[in-house]
Structure 1
């Protein structure tokens, strides 16, 4: 990838100050225009789309391809081997629909529904650990002890990943998305690729009652997933299912802790209010800043700006979700917001196949924390929390909490369980 020469250098908005609190920066960009020609931190040029109406319209428009072969500027993003690149995020409608039909045979609503009891049991086990840690130390880290291991347990069980391999995989994905040194991305990708090749080979040799085994067996009139497609789908499910869910759980809990009035409402009536709170969290606190990059297959006009074929377009979800033209008082967290529509789980043909599982996990996780730990509070001031920030994602590194006046523990038989 060739950086832009200094003579034609473009604005680079994603500096440290922007990433520390990106929302005021997105507001300035939205006010200045719908589309901006900017450079990413590595110098590569992109068109950044900031307003909700344009993001919503173009995220489902087939004239914007997700296939990197359509790039006319050499954009490659992560340098992934073919076996990790052949997933649903990188394939245009015809092939995408073919893969989706095959995957849907294995990723059924019944399979997700059956996971419900296992998600609740895992959440309660991890809540026990969190309670023990707070009892021993007076505080605990929700990220390390609850939000990270819960989706790893769920997705690991779903795909048949050995328990000992789950945390190392999550660490590699985190390093790939927010590297601490230049060589970390390539190193992480190499490890992820090798791990998934071995996992697919193991499930092919000894099938189990898991999603990966079902994907291997899925067929449609003789059509089956290729080896690269299997490995790539496993990569996508593990990455999205663990990475996004853990950050939505920790970010969601933080949002509720910082809005005690709404926290009290949800705690008092979780059956009615928790689903609405989850939808607002998906809009207000989703870690993904951008949708997957896209490339026009022909010259297009976005927000009144002409964008040549082959250029890189980034549709900014974080900016769209704070657009006052769509959401009144958009920076306000509001579980009673009338407009619950958002783009956090995709839109159109690229709507997330795992959306029901994502909602189930977040709802169960937050419901368990609120039920088990009434009075839970931050153990440090909010402005001292540490974040993992990049132009791609923004997520908590840790979330230290401590018990309130009510001691943490399991409710009695009459205690309600959020569903």
Structure 2
């Protein structure tokens, strides 16, 4: 027998064995296969069609949460950042459009509302999506409205007509614990019509079941769907006073031994002089920016929690000669800024010192805080999302669920 014919016969035998194995598996499925088949049978036609919109399979927790909505119940989704909680909100939108109802997508801050609005316009079309914040009102009669929580609270108290409202998504609902904004969330949960389905999306919280019991007392059946799987692993670093960035742990592993080199530097920096309190040390901002660039940790958001501190930091890094953009990228940034500010008078532009602000952004550096004009914040967010801004100095205005392409987050101070 020739070698070629031998290989052919062997391949035929292998194919026959595979077919027999598959037939045996089909006749005697494993417990895992039976469970998967059971789950598949529980899915509604709407959920099947919704999953077909994506080029990736949904995770189990996403499917489970969507099935809760199919049962016409409220759902609380607790999952780590970047786990994909938004998918459940998108399914609520899918159902609302199918049922001819409206959906309000609420967020705690304007920056997140602006970003969600742009995302949903891309997915569902500008004619179906609107935006309501303290700064902006776009397409207020649309089927899907993105808004800040304060806007929805005010609508409820003003007895605005909400008869066609079918769903409310409360993004970043763990923010309920915030002393300042938390009561707004509580008021919405208490006063929102119980017939409206509430989709609560939260980062992982230890008391999710207790929270859900409170929701159930107020609004009826509420199911908790949670996962602790973090798809994007976290690495921890510390910055020395000289701006050097060192791993917090010896091997970069969370829970391991602390880095000895870091401990030695920390001892030198905080060692009190005789008879004096240890002085507070702040790392050199341009040196930190250089280290971030050298270690390939950009784009980054640096939280300073001071408006003037954000402005000062951006100016310091720019004045130190650091540039994080190429010439074509800088030209594109200038073009977008000048196009978006074309309707402003020269006097208005001079009042906000737009020339220096534009050149700072063209270098890939930006401040972001509530003291800026809404258009300035929106441009910064848009340019950062496009990968043109590489270093943002921000207050808490970018601290809540902002889906920006940041590789690193830096906390300049913990108090």
Shorter-chain TM band: under 0.3
Larger fraction in helix? 1
TM superposition score normalised by structure 1: 0.25
Which is higher, the Rg of structure 1 or of structure 2? 2
TM superposition score normalised by structure 2: 0.25
Larger fraction in strand? 2
